[in-house]
Structure 1
Amino acid sequence: MTETQRTPLTADAATGAETTMREIRQQPGVWHRASEIVGAQRSDLDRFLATIRGRENLRIIATGAGTSAFIGGIIAPAIASQTGQRVESVATTDLVSNPREYLAEDVPTLLVSFARSGNSPESVAAVRLADALLEDVHHLIITCNPEGDLGRRYADDPQAFVLLMPPEANDAGFAMTSSFTSMTLSALLAFLGDAPDLVRQVADAGRSVLADEWAALADRADAGMKRVVFLGSGPLAALAQESALKLLELTAGRVVSFHDSALGFRHGPKSVLDDETLVVVYVSSDPHTRAYDLDIVSELREAIGASRVLAVTSDHADIADALTVPGLDAVSDGFISIVFVIVAQILALSFAISLGGTPDNPFPGGSVNRVVRGVTIHEWARDGRGRK
């Protein structure tokens, strides 16, 4: 099945879902195009990164708001583990509200900003604050919108590099799907190097989920399930957070979702479980981490029944009745997350359709918006530490 083939849903069922469905299905193709964009700019990108990555005490901060913030949670441990560099994930919503705390260290800093539109107030405010508070700061802007404020502001700045995603990654639907996965992939490639064989492997795995698992996942979107819990470890913990948000967004909050780490879930959050709860566990590819993920799968299956615990894994050897994604042998969790998130996207879309929602626009009254509105950015009271 190709990206252009339509997932079998009735026309009535798909009403209000066509855009989101298309943008979920197009992702493997978008990943190839995003990889090509990074590869085409490799020399300039490496030259830019070389100006900052060799600095002593370098701090790399991955930032964004909402879904874009969760990209940082995925890539930070993935890049740190492979490069040995200090990489942190701090949401723009934290940087803007508490700049003194999160930008307290005036050390050489690379701020990596993720933004679908580049127009959210916090995205623009965060880079301004970094410029004001830090003596030595560079910006890598990864965005899907060439006309966004963030991309235009830094397009000609010698201390910045703007990496634009393919046009189709600028999702027209309410929820971030192609934009999330393409920016995640591009950031990993930017820091870890071009990997065309790996991109093909990941894209093929994504196609496999879309072709072979959609119907089974749609069946799990039972209107009787009122809560869905997503669990993961390391980079997959941030994936669990994004998955929970996707379900809340597309169902307009009619299905309540939670997220946690495999170990953290026992420490109180496990209280959320009831007879109307589905649990999705993302199983790590790392053997040590994987042991903890499998422990929680076994524990939860015993507690609430195997049918209500879905393990998503890249290896079928350790666990029965899992959703096994083929072709991801020896792929690290950062890259695996790009494929695994499709599971949550399909579940979220299917729940929304089963509830009669309109996931392309879940909030027709405008109570929640595609690009956040109503945020007042309060002027930072300079205290003598800033440059500007």
Structure 2
Amino acid sequence: MPDTLLAIAPTTDGETWTEREIRQQPATLGATQAIVEAHRTAIEAFIAPLLARPAMRVVLTGAGTSAFIGDTLAPYLSQLAGRPIESVPTTDIVSAPDLYLRRGTPLLLVSFGRSGNSPESLAAIDVADAALDEVHHLIITCNPDGALAARGGERAFVLLLPEETHDRGFAMTSSFTAMMLAALSVFGGVGGVGARVPAIADAVAQVLDRADPIVSDLAGRGFDRVVYLGSGVFKGLAREAALKLMELSDGAVVTAFDTAMGFRHGPKTIVTSSTLIVVFVSNDPLTARYDRDIVEELRGDGRSGAVVVIATSGEGGDTVTVEGLAHASDCDLLFPFIVPAQLFGLRVSEALGLTPDQPNRTGTVNRVVEGVRIYAADA
């Protein structure tokens, strides 16, 4: 009940929660990093001994947008750590535990949750605890009153993020970037990531201003299909971008995501004259070649309504340029790159006459998932 009230209560200045939460991200990223740094000693004391054990399996988990944090970060963190770090949604763990939990293997389960009240998030912890002999929990959440925040214990560490990141709007925006930054900092090195946060936050701030007129124009063009393409870490980001638009348009816009190379293998058949395609261009020289190839191909085909590029350099045509991070790692680009997609979802929602904070007209899709039955594994 409290989460429902949060979603419908208006802001005092008439601005939607969704817009406020998109625009507050430069500040909430800084505030999130400050919290991580304040707990640095305790975090490292919890994490370091676990990561020092080669047999310790690390799984990033969540549902919906919270799961896409894992999808986005897992490839980069695996490379950084020199060990596999997996992304497995809570919905998979709960529905098919025998496929995703390895008995006899110790597990560090990293749970992301905006509200911390999703039934699957709680059930995934319970299922893992029941199935495995040794489970450790790192819980990253935005709601101090959520059930996840209360799941402390001898083998658990709860990292509670700034109150402002407990998004009131239906679509997760600042909660997504805050939880993603917290995980990046925990596993990527608190000090090293912290030194980069000011530049990341500055890039987010300038993209908020630069992208809004571009996406507002695109929102008025009535695209009925939108595809997001990204390679490497941007594949997970493309999935999150596609979900944001689907949620905020109440399903009125068909969305899809893929990698730059994978799109050619069948998914490209979705392209029509009313299709918008957005391509995230990597800073990695090799990966960027494939990203630019698909942009050139799609523009050359002339079949889509528009092809928009999000990159750190001018790419010709319709481009949202993120300045100041031309030499940054792709993981740092995740934060400014998602902003145009968030803003576009917001502007499409408004153009459709929806209420962005509660875009689902029927009430059958909720801010916090309801109506989930959790079954015993042996039922």
Q: Structure 1 length as normaliser, TM-score?
A: 0.91
Q: Alignment partner for residue 48 of structure 1, among 46, 49, 54?
A: 46
Q: Does 1:336 align with 2:322?
A: no
Shift of 1:321: 4.3
Q: Residue 56 of structure 1 contacts residue 108 of structure 1 at CA under 8 Å; is this kept in 2?
A: no
1:354 aligned partner:
351
Cα distance per residue 1:247-300 (max 9 Å; x no partner) = 010110111111111111111111100010000001111111111111111111
Cα distance in 2 for residues equivalent to 1:19 and 1:137: 37
Shift of 1:130: 1.1
Does the C-alpha gap of structure 1 residues 16 and 66 become closer, same or farther in structure 2, counting only changes over 3 Å?
farther
Q: In structure 2, what residue type is equivalent to 1:163?
A: L
Cα distance in 2 for residues equivalent to 1:279 and 1:167: 35
Q: Does 1:241 align with 2:239?
A: yes
Map 1:151-190 → 2, pairs under 5 A: 151-154=149-152, 157-190=153-186
Q: Residue 62 of structure 2 contacts residue 113 of structure 2 at CA under 8 Å; is this kept in 1?
A: yes
Cα distance in 2 for residues equivalent to 1:371 and 1:213: 29
Does the C-alpha gap of structure 1 residues 110 and 319 become closer, same or farther in structure 2, counting only changes over 3 Å?
farther
Cα distance per residue 1:13-36 (max 9 Å; x no partner) = xx9961111110001100000000
| Secondary structure at 1:171 match in 2 | coil
Q: Does 1:367 align with 2:364?
A: yes
**Comparing 220-229 with 177-186, which one deviates more in the overlay?**
220-229
Cα distance in 2 for residues equivalent to 1:253 and 1:307: 19
Does the C-alpha gap of structure 1 residues 274 and 306 become closer, same or farther in structure 2, counting only changes over 3 Å?
closer
Does the C-alpha gap of structure 1 residues 358 and 114 become closer, same or farther in structure 2, counting only changes over 3 Å?
same
Shift of 1:322: 2.2
1:221 aligned partner:
219
Cα distance in 2 for residues equivalent to 1:205 and 1:335: 10
Does the C-alpha gap of structure 1 residues 352 and 17 become closer, same or farther in structure 2, counting only changes over 3 Å?
farther
Q: Does 1:287 align with 2:289?
A: no
Cα distance in 2 for residues equivalent to 1:158 and 1:50: 15
| Secondary structure at 1:213 match in 2 | helix
Q: In structure 2, what residue type is equivalent to 1:314?
A: T
Q: In structure 2, what residue type is equivalent to 1:186?
A: A
2:9 aligned partner:
none
**Comparing 192-201 with 16-25, which one deviates more in the overlay?**
16-25
Q: Residue 61 of structure 1 contacts residue 111 of structure 1 at CA under 8 Å; is this kept in 2?
A: yes
Q: Residue 223 of structure 1 contacts residue 354 of structure 1 at CA under 8 Å; is this kept in 2?
A: no
Q: In structure 1, what residue type is equivalent to 2:173?
A: T
1:9 aligned partner:
none
**What number of residue pairs does the alignment pair up?**
365
Map 1:6-85 → 2, pairs under 5 A: 18-85=16-83
Map 1:286-325 → 2, pairs under 5 A: 286-304=284-302, 308-316=306-314, 319=316, 321-325=318-322
Q: In structure 1, what residue type is equivalent to 2:39?
A: Q
Deviation >6 Å, runs of 4+: none
What is the percentage of aligned positions where both structures have the same residue?
49
Cα distance in 1 for residues equivalent to 2:298 and 2:103: 42
Q: Residue 151 of structure 2 contacts residue 158 of structure 2 at CA under 8 Å; is this kept in 1?
A: no
1:135 aligned partner:
133
Cα distance in 1 for residues equivalent to 2:73 and 2:130: 26
2:5 aligned partner:
none
**Comparing 301-310 with 268-277, which one deviates more in the overlay?**
301-310
Cα distance in 2 for residues equivalent to 1:307 and 1:212: 21
Q: Alignment partner for residue 249 of structure 2, among 248, 251, 257?
A: 251
| Secondary structure at 1:249 match in 2 | helix
Q: Alignment partner for residue 323 of structure 2, among 326, 347, 353?
A: 326
2:6 aligned partner:
none
Shift of 1:217: 1.4
Q: Residue 283 of structure 1 contacts residue 290 of structure 1 at CA under 8 Å; is this kept in 2?
A: yes
| Secondary structure at 1:135 match in 2 | coil
**Comparing 100-109 with 237-246, which one deviates more in the overlay?**
100-109
Cα distance in 1 for residues equivalent to 2:289 and 2:177: 27
Q: Residue 106 of structure 1 contacts residue 133 of structure 1 at CA under 8 Å; is this kept in 2?
A: no
Q: Alignment partner for residue 232 of structure 1, among 230, 233, 258?
A: 230
Q: In structure 2, what residue type is equivalent to 1:381?
A: D
Q: In structure 1, what residue type is equivalent to 2:142?
A: C
2:374 aligned partner:
377
Q: In structure 2, what residue type is equivalent to 1:112?
A: V
Cα distance per residue 1:89-130 (max 9 Å; x no partner) = 010011110100011353121100000011101000101111
1:12 aligned partner:
none
Q: In structure 2, what residue type is equivalent to 1:257?
A: T
Q: In structure 1, what residue type is equivalent to 2:92?
A: D
Cα distance in 1 for residues equivalent to 2:316 and 2:263: 20
Q: In structure 2, what residue type is equivalent to 1:43?
A: T
Q: In structure 1, what residue type is equivalent to 2:188?
A: L
Cα distance in 1 for residues equivalent to 2:264 and 2:148: 40
For structure 1, which runs of at least 5 residues remain unmatched after alignment?
1-14, 383-388
| Secondary structure at 1:367 match in 2 | coil
Q: Residue 273 of structure 2 contacts residue 303 of structure 2 at CA under 8 Å; is this kept in 1?
A: no
2:7 aligned partner:
none
Q: Residue 247 of structure 1 contacts residue 347 of structure 1 at CA under 8 Å; is this kept in 2?
A: yes
| Secondary structure at 1:375 match in 2 | coil
